[in-house]
Amino acid sequence: MGVMDKKLLLDIEDLKVHFNIASKSVWPWAKPTALKAVDGVDIKLYEGETLGVVGESGCGKSTFARAVIGLVQATEGQVVWLGQDLTKLEGNALREKRKEIQMIFQDPLASLNPRMTVGDIIAEPLKTFYPELSKDEVKQQVQAMMTRVGLLPNVINRYPHEFSGGQCQRIGIARALILKPKLVICDEPVSALDVSIQAQVVNLLKELQKEMGLSLIFIAHDLSVVKHISDRVLVMYLGNAVELAEGNALFDNPQHPYTKALMSAVPVPDPVKERNKEIQLLEGELPSPMNPPSGCVFRTRCPQATDACAQTKPRLAGTDHHSVSCLQVHL
C-alpha cells in the first residue's frame, strides 16, 4: 500500500504567511509593506509519511512549518488537521491539538532551557497536559523515553550545557515524543551536528517513526539526508511550492529548473562522475520576498522563462506522484 493510500492527516490549502514591515518613509501615513514569507502552498500529509521540505535559505521552509503548528499566524488559507482547521482555533482548543503535533528545533542547545534539568525539560509537556500524573509516574515515563532515544536515565538531573550537541538533540526529540504525538515537525534538526552524529539522529528518527507510527515533516538543506528519510519531497522557492514528488522520482528526474539547479549542486561520491557532471548555476540575485516578481517567482533566474511567465502565476500540476509549478513543464 502506497503512502497516499493511507489515512489523510494534514490538508494544507493555499497557505499564506505575510508579515507587515513598517515603511521607512518619513511620512507617518505610509502603508507597511507585506513580506510574503509563504505565498500559497498546497500540500497533503498522510499517516506514517515523511515529507521532506527543501530550498535555499529564505525560501520560507521554517515559516511554513511554524504556520502548520500555529507558532506563527497564517494570513490566508487552511491547515486542516484530521478534519479540523487549525487556523480557526484559539486558546485551549488550539492548545489541545498541540498534543498531537510537536516540533524539533534546529539549534539543539538553544531550544533547551539552561536553567532546567534534563528531567524537567522532558517532563514539562507531561506536567502541562497531564497534571494528574504523580511525580513517580512522570519520572518513570521520562526515564523510559530517555532510554529510547539513547540517553542514560541516570543523567536525569544534569543540565543541557553538560551535554554534546547530539545529546542535546536527543533531549529535544525525547521532549517532542513524550506526549506520543501523531505528527512531528523537524526544522533542520541535524544541520548543527557533525556528519556522523547526523546519521545517528536521522536513523533514530526513522526507528521511532516506525515504532510509534509517526508522520514527519522534515526540513533540511542537505539533500542526501532528505533523500534518505523522505517518502515525498516538497521544493520551495521564495515562499512558493515549485515541485512535489516521491523521493526517487524527484532525485532521478527533476523537472522544475530550480530543482535541477539544486540537484546539480549535490556532490556525487564518484570522482569520474563528479568531474563530468554539468553544474547548472543560477543567474542573478534572489529576489526580495517584499517585492517578488510578477507571475512565476522564479522567472528572473530561469533559463526557460518566456513572456507568459511574467503574466501568470503557476500552481502545482501533474500527477499524485509528481507535480510541478511551471508553465514550461507538463507532466
The pLDDT tens digits for 46-98 are: 999 999 999 988 899 999 999 999 899 999 999 999 999 999 988 888 888 88
- CA–CA distance from 158 to each of 92, 110, 119, 163 (Å)? 32, 16, 8, 9
Residue 90, classified by CB atoms within 10 Å of its CB into exposed (0-12), middle (13-18) or buried (19+), is: exposed
Task: Kindly state the average pLDDT of the residues 301-311.
Answer: 90
Report the CATH number at residue 231: 3.40.50.300
DSSP 33: E
Task: Kindly state the average pLDDT of the residues 145-169.
Answer: 93
In this structure, are 18 and 133 located in the same domain? no
Residue 301 in any domain: the answer is yes
In this structure, are 120 and 263 located in the same domain? no
In this structure, are 79 and 133 located in the same domain? no
Among 180, 210, 229, the domain-final residue is: 180
In this structure, are 123 and 70 located in the same domain? no
Asked if the model's pLDDT at residue 134 lies above 80, the reply is: yes
Residue 315 in any domain: the answer is yes
Task: Kindly state the average pLDDT of the residues 116-135.
Answer: 95
In this structure, are 64 and 202 located in the same domain? yes
Among 151, 180, 209, the domain-final residue is: 180
pTM of the full structure: 0.90
Local structure of 236: helix, strand or coil: strand
In this structure, are 94 and 126 located in the same domain? no
Asked if the model's pLDDT at residue 303 lies above 90, the reply is: no
DSSP 254: -
Per the rule left: phi > 0, alpha: psi between -120 and 50, beta: everything else, 142 is: alpha
Among 180, 213, 231, the domain-final residue is: 180
Rounded CA-CA distance 312/317 in Å is 14
Range of the domain at 319: 3-22+33-100+181-324
Dihedral, 74, 123, 149, 64 alpha carbons, nearest 10 = 10
In this structure, are 133 and 172 located in the same domain? yes
Residue 105 in any domain: the answer is no
Residue 106 in any domain: the answer is no
Comparing 167 with 330, the larger pLDDT belongs to 167
- Number of domains observed in the structure of the chain: 2
In this structure, are 190 and 312 located in the same domain? yes
Residue 255 in any domain: the answer is yes
Do the beta carbons of residue 252 and residue 268 sit within 8 Å? no
